[in-house]
Amino acid sequence: MIAIVKPTATPEQLNHLIAWIESKGLSAYVSEGTNETVVGLVGDTFSIDPFLLESMDIIERVTRVSEPFKLANRKFHPEDSIIDCGFGVKIGGGNFQVIAGPCSVEGEELVEIAREVKAAGATMLRGGAYKPRTSPYANQGMGAEGLRILAEAKDELEMPIVSEVMDPRDVQLFVDMDVDVMQIGARNMQNFPLLKEVGKTSVPVLLKRGFSATIDEFLMAAEYVMSEGNEKVILCERGIRTFETHTRNTFDTNAIAVCHQLSHLPIVGDPSHAAGYTRYVVSAALAATAAGADGLEIEVHPEPSRAWSDGAQALTPSQFKNAMRRIALVRQAVEMEDE
């Protein structure tokens, strides 16, 4: 349920309203926009009489939110959320960011890759230290040492780092190592204990859509994180499983527009995992950009044939540089370029 507050309401009246909502055993989330203030009520709202609420002096109107996601819902927060990832890098609400780097952190070479992607215009560095591999015999990543190398690259390049956390028991390590954005992989989108654990931190979360998740399930996963107190969720469309076999996944660019419609959270596109093959990655990146994504996550490796993981979909630094030029052109063409 949401209550739209009249523009004439004083802060005292608003506080009084919040106290009243809390006295009913519900939580109140206030979103002060430029045009209106929205108070979202979360909990068992069936105990509240909407007519009683509407009869209060400061209330303009009350509506029930039928969707199961509340905190992630645009009705709760009409304006786009802008998430600060560190080093002044903000995403959402017209701020477009490109996260680039290798699938796996493979050693000190990461620092050189970071220099190259930054020079090409990437604003955040990615690298997996803990890898969710389909086979238990495949390389599982460098672990904590990988996080240390990411931190080294971050210190030199002054750009936020993004890395996947797979186990709730590792979340504190990621916090201690100052990972700027914790990625939740597609395979873990419904790992509820993990979602709750990252929800207890204040570190931004890059939440990838599960292969077979509907958009509602995706937004409910975001709701899990937010309901624990961490509202800094960045959605990521990375392709879903269909009957098609020419690409690794089918890139659901519709999801970008649908998520923007339903939610205030930023959404980035991951053309690398969506396409699965280098030759299709750039067109998917351009499509996501044109569809209004708030950013992209792209895998880049200097020698894709030697990559520990996902070499088949990696761009080389020079391919990435060329892609960045075209991404900027698409942003201009659809009039989304940064001010």
Measured CA to CA, the distance from residue 219 to residue 213 in angstroms comes to: 10
CA angle 87, 92, 94 (to 5 degrees): 105
**Residues linked to residue 300 through DSSP beta bridges, in sequence order:** 315
Measured CA to CA, the distance from residue 104 to residue 124 in angstroms comes to: 15
- Choose the stretch contacting Mn ion; rule: CB under 5 A; options: 68-76, 97-105, 136-144, 287-295: 97-105
Asked if 103 interacts with Mn ion (CB under 5 A), we say: yes
Which one of Mn ion, ligand PEP, none interacts with residue 269, CB within 5 to 8 A by kind?
A: none
- Choose the stretch contacting Mn ion; rule: CB under 5 A; options: 51-59, 99-107, 208-216, 289-297: 99-107
DSSP 174-213: HHHTT-SEEEE-GGGTT-HHHHHHHHTS-S-EEEEPPTT-
Asked if 132 interacts with ligand PEP (CB under 6 A), we say: yes
Asked if 301 interacts with ligand PEP (CB under 6 A), we say: no
Alpha helix (H) residue ranges in 105-189: 109-119, 144-157, 171-176
Nearer CB in complex with ligand PEP: 77/273:
273
Among residues 266, 272, 268, 228, the alpha carbon closest in space to that of 247 is found at 272
Residues 305-334 as x/- pattern, contact with Mn ion by CB under 5 A: -----x------------------------
Alpha helix (H) residue ranges in 120-169: 144-157
127 to 100, 141, 149, 165, 184: CA distances (angstroms): 8, 10, 10, 11, 13
Asked if 75 interacts with ligand PEP (CB under 6 A), we say: no
Nearer CB in complex with ligand PEP: 3/181:
181
Asked if 208 interacts with ligand PEP (CB under 6 A), we say: yes
Asked if 215 interacts with ligand PEP (CB under 6 A), we say: no
- Choose the stretch contacting ligand PEP; rule: CB under 6 A; options: 40-48, 180-188, 226-234, 325-333: 180-188
Residues 253-292 as x/- pattern, contact with ligand PEP by CB under 6 A: -----------------x--x-------------------
DSSP 296-307: EEEEB-SSGGG-
Query: Smallest distance, Å, CB 68 to ligand PEP?
Result: 24
Which one of Mn ion, ligand PEP, none interacts with residue 185, CB within 5 to 8 A by kind?
A: ligand PEP
Two tokens, residue 72: 């992630």
Dihedral sign for Cα 247, 248, 253, 255, please.
positive
Measured CA to CA, the distance from residue 81 to residue 293 in angstroms comes to: 13
Asked if 39 interacts with Mn ion (CB under 5 A), we say: no
Two tokens, residue 91: 């995403």
Measured CA to CA, the distance from residue 1 to residue 224 in angstroms comes to: 18
Query: Smallest distance, Å, CB 186 to ligand PEP?
Result: 4
Asked if 248 interacts with ligand PEP (CB under 6 A), we say: no
Asked if 238 interacts with ligand PEP (CB under 6 A), we say: yes
* Cβ–Cβ under 8 Å, residues 288 and 252: no
- Choose the stretch contacting Mn ion; rule: CB under 5 A; options: 30-38, 44-52, 95-103, 217-225: 95-103
Asked if 270 interacts with Mn ion (CB under 5 A), we say: no
Nearer CB in complex with ligand PEP: 80/270:
270
Asked if 58 interacts with ligand PEP (CB under 6 A), we say: no
Question: Residue 108: which H helix or E strand, with range?
Answer: none
Please give the residue ranges that form the binding site for Mn ion (CB under 5 A): 103, 310
Please give the residue ranges that form the binding site for ligand PEP (CB under 6 A): 103, 128, 132, 185-187, 208, 238, 270, 273
